[in-house]
Structure 1
Amino acid sequence: MSLTVLREKAMQLPLELGHDPAADRDHLLISRSIMPAIDLIDRWPHWHTPVTVLVGPPGSGKTHLSTIWKGLSQARPVTAELREGRPVAARHGAFLFEDADREAFDETGLFHLINTVRQHGGSLLITARSLPQLWPITLPDLKSRLAAATTVEIGAPDDALLQQVIFKLFADRQLEVDDRLVAYVVTRMERSLDAASQIVDQIDKLALSRNRRITRALAAEVLAAREAI
């Protein structure tokens, strides 16, 4: 796919990187790295297990996907209850627990919620940045329940996705950049959407501070400074 086509596609790219994207299925970018997660959403309610954990790095699309699923399934958000240790009055239906590994939560409450979902044929989607086995869980029964859940990972972004992200991030700042500059950055940056957001922000700020247009030399300076940290 040419960089010109990537630039055009990027105008509709939803991201979780500092602005409020459209959260519907039609605006969801499809790439190899996110295809397993898209397939997960599209297969509901015919999931392999009633509990699924969606794992991905910051900005990878977890919130966008969980929002789509919440609308599709009419899922009830339970993040606040589990964070605050309040009981979740759950029977039938679907439930959404977001960013499970970001802060402490009521392990017993999640254990009981999983049991209820399993007993009554419901669904529970949990999102996180890391795999469940890496969470600091002390309740053995909860560890066992999470081990039995389906885990779907959003992979590292490929070059095509990173190029679209960078075009989009510059466009959000009303900035046009050269195709060659984007290709240069993508081949030298860390493979994450969070890094893409940081790099675009740093390039923009450096250009503004020097009252200069954005060039490959300026991008190279930002990338070199990041490598030196």
Structure 2
Amino acid sequence: MGEVSSQLSLPVTIKETETFDSYVEGQNTQVCGHLTQLFEQLKHNRLEHWLNYIFSDQEVGKSHLLYAICHQAEIEKVSCIYLSFEEKADLTPEVLLGLEHYSIICLDDVQQLQDCADWQVALFDLINRVKEKNTGCLVMTGNQPAQLLPITLPDLLSRLSWGISFQLMSLTDEQRQQALIVRAELRGMNMSKDVAKFLVNHWQRDMSALINSLDLLDEKSLQQQRKLTIPFVKSILDI
């Protein structure tokens, strides 16, 4: 694989539930299909899109998709690495050296490189190395279209605009309910449509908060040997 930085490894925060199967696509069928096709293309050495950029507002599922890529890569024995630039304070730009030897490089939260000239140069250089090596691909995410990112290095902005770009669309309330039910089932919890609807209507709106509520509900339902009913949910979440 070549020389790869020893500082970087998959973060323990990636949960086993963050897979393609647990991602409720909603209006995002095209991007999900595109990402899964990358594995087929790598397998046959005919990579069509070596630079991929996904953007959306917060809590729409960008990180989930990158985690899903990592899990799928493990299944298919494809070398893959993940890094969120939110963690850059604990790292140095040199961590990007050697990443071009991976088949898939997942880089989350590119907007976090605002006012970080050294990181911007390091990412620019990595993109060039991946293009030159021509054996793997980059999948990056940000909170807005590439050309609107708060990046001060013009050449990096230009590179980010080279590849294929997708905007993730928010889920409808009905799709949020479906996502909750799916994620509850993965935890071995039986959640009815009525309970999912109640949570979506009365708990926090973003999917991250909704999913996180399942941890507490799962813990308390096991402790108290209670089913997931609306009265139980109201009492645990103090709604």
Mark yes or no: TM-score above 0.5: yes
Partner of 2:121: 108
Structure 1 distance, partners of 2:158, 2:207, is 32
SS at match of 1:98: strand
**What TM-score, normalized to structure 1?**
0.63
Select which of 143, 147, 151 maps to 2:161.
147
Residue 35 (structure 2) pairs with residue 41 (structure 1):
yes
Deviation at 1:149, TM superposition (A): 2.3
List per-residue Cα deviations over 1:19-69 (Å, max 9, x = no partner): 43275x6x4545334422221123323565421123354472223332156
Contact 2:100–2:136 (CA under 8 A) maintained in structure 1: no
Contact 1:36–1:153 (CA under 8 A) maintained in structure 2: no
Residue 93 (structure 2) pairs with residue 85 (structure 1):
yes
Q: CA RMSD in A?
A: 4.4
Give the 5 Å matches for 1:134-213. 134-170=148-184, 176-187=190-201, 192-200=206-214
Amino acid at match of 1:31: E
Structure 2 distance, partners of 1:215, 1:41, is 37
Deviation at 1:201, TM superposition (A): 5.7
Partner of 2:51: 51
Partner of 1:20: 16
Aligned residues between the structures: 208
Amino acid at match of 2:16: D
**What TM-score, normalized to structure 2?**
0.61
Contact 1:55–1:62 (CA under 8 A) maintained in structure 2: no
For the structure 1 residues 195 and 76, does the alpha-carbon distance in structure 2 shift closer, same or farther, using more than 3 Å as the test?
closer
Amino acid at match of 2:131: R
Query: Which moves more between the two structures, 123-132 or 141-150?
Result: 123-132
List per-residue Cα deviations over 1:193-224 (Å, max 9, x = no partner): 2131245467779999xx99765467578999
For the structure 1 residues 184 and 65, does the alpha-carbon distance in structure 2 shift closer, same or farther, using more than 3 Å as the test?
same
For the structure 1 residues 133 and 75, does the alpha-carbon distance in structure 2 shift closer, same or farther, using more than 3 Å as the test?
farther
List per-residue Cα deviations over 1:102-160 (Å, max 9, x = no partner): 75472112111211222332433233351334543221110111122222233212345
Structure 2 distance, partners of 1:206, 1:93, is 42
For the structure 1 residues 98 and 134, does the alpha-carbon distance in structure 2 shift closer, same or farther, using more than 3 Å as the test?
same
Structure 2 distance, partners of 1:128, 1:161, is 22
For the structure 1 residues 28 and 165, does the alpha-carbon distance in structure 2 shift closer, same or farther, using more than 3 Å as the test?
closer
Partner of 1:94: 103
Contact 2:66–2:82 (CA under 8 A) maintained in structure 1: no
List per-residue Cα deviations over 1:58-84 (Å, max 9, x = no partner): 472223332156445834427499851
For the structure 1 residues 125 and 68, does the alpha-carbon distance in structure 2 shift closer, same or farther, using more than 3 Å as the test?
farther
Amino acid at match of 1:157: L
Gaps of 5+ in 1: 1-16
Identity of aligned residues (%): 17
Contact 1:54–1:125 (CA under 8 A) maintained in structure 2: no
